[in-house]
Amino acid sequence: QKEVEQNSGPLSVPEGAIASLNCTYSDRGSQSFFWYRQYSGKSPELIMSIYSNGDKEDGRFTAQLNKASQYVSLLIRDSQPSDSATYLCAVSGGYNFNKFYFGSGTKLNVKP
Amino acid sequence: EADIYQTPRYLVIGTGKKITLECSQTMGHDKMYWYQQDPGMELHLIHYSYGVNSTEKGDLSSESTVSRIRTEHFPLTLESARPSHTSQYLCASSELGGKFFGPGTRLTVL
């Protein structure tokens, strides 16, 4: 079982819709959760971090964390074609405190 | 401006050559990392360092070596490049939170 699981996609949404990206993790003791955006051929860019249960909003992005269900999600409101990228979920601070695990990423396509 | 830099951005080299990929960060982070990523594939951790004179191998076996003599500098060296080393190499740094990545070096070994 992988430490972090993501659906590889592609997830296709029309422009202006809400894109919902999901991630589950296996280490119940994990404490820090991150979302990265990676455009094709580029390096990952940190876009959101969340550390406690609930929602965290930043512009059009909302990260949601449910530690009881071991589930993290990223919502992108008013999706734009420029949001088309691969989104990586990352988790750290669990049983092996120094470990930092990346998911394999979900590819998002926003259609004009 | 605090940032993380990698040079060269692109490198095409022949088999058997020795190469060093440079990575520097101005954020004062103690922790630095090297990842390898093929197009459309997952990130694989190949080396990391938690501070000066500290280096460890990552999850993916690699024939490369690293050094950490200064906090801001974490170079990666391949003693004898082979076509199987063709990939994108990403350097990252962190403190307490998420990792910040450099722009990457795309290496092609002919």
Contact B100 A49 (CB under 8 A): no
Interface test with A, best of B43, B48, B100 (most A CBs within 10 A): B43
Band (A93; pLDDT cuts 50, 70, 90): confident
Q: For residue A46, name the pLDDT band (cuts at 50, 70, 90).
A: very high
pLDDT-based confidence at residue B105 (cuts at 50, 70, 90): very high
**Amino acid in position A72:** V
Please list every residue in chain B whose beta carbon sits closer than 8 Å to the beta carbon of residue A40: 39
CA neighbor of A3 nearest in space, from A108, A107, A88: A88
Q: In this structure, how many other beta carbons lie within 10 angstroms of the beta carbon of residue A86? A: 21
Task: Tell whether the model's pLDDT for residue B1 goes beyond 80.
Answer: no
Residue A60: CA count within 13 A, CB half-sphere: 12
**In terms of CA atoms, which chain A residue is nearest residue B35?**
A43
Residue B96: per-residue pLDDT: 81
Output b/e per residue, B22-50; b: 16+ Cβ within 10 A. ebbbeeebebbbbbbbeeeeebbbbbbbe
- pLDDT above 90 covers what percent of chain A? 86
Provide the pLDDT for residue A95.
63
* For testing contact with chain A, the best of B99, B105, B108 (most A CBs within 10 A): B99
Nearest CA among A66, A67, A80, A71 for reference residue A108:
A80
Check residue B74 and give its pLDDT: 98
- How far from the centroid of its chain's Cα atoms is residue A43's Cα? 16
Is the model's pLDDT at B60 over the cut of 90?
A: no
Burial zone of B18 (CB within 10 Å; 0-12 exposed, 13-18 middle, 19+ buried):
exposed
Q: What is the mean pLDDT of chain B?
A: 94
The residue count of chain B comes to: 110
| pLDDT recorded at residue A96 | 62
